[in-house]
Amino acid sequence: MNRFRSKLTCWITFFCLLGCYANAASATQATAGSSAPATAAGSGSAPAAPAKTATGKPSSSDIAAAKASGKVWVNTESGVYHKSGRWYGKTKQGKFMTEAEAKAAGYKGAAKE
């Protein structure tokens, strides 16, 4: 039983490391494809934070900043925007924008929040 447990622990460790490697490789590949324009050296201004679009989910700090600034989360796949609630910043595809921008782009407000 002890030998089996040892082999099992070894295999579990192997698959965990393999999963971590796969996640790191996909993250590196995703960031390598999107190159941000370089800012002028010594310009004194920090580059703008990247806008979260249909390519990735926002972090919890991005969600908090968007809520504080009054932005809505637009689910670009379904065409519905959320002012708050369980889907705010949580759908697979979406982006933050003002409510006026969302309405102008043809997105509809969520029925339930």
63 vs 77: CA distance, rounded Å: 19
**Residue 108 above 80 pLDDT?**
yes
| Confidence class for position 38, pLDDT limits 50, 70, 90 | very low
Q: Determine contact, residues 93/76, Cβ cutoff 8 Å.
A: yes
Sign of CA dihedral 98, 27, 29, 46: positive
SS3 39: coil
**Is the pTM here over 0.85, yes or no?**
no
SS3 66: helix
pLDDT digits (tens, 9 = 90+) for 42-95: 444 444 444 555 456 788 899 999 999 999 999 999 999 999 999 999 999 999
**DSSP percent split of the chain into helix, strand, coil, nearest 5:** 40, 10, 50
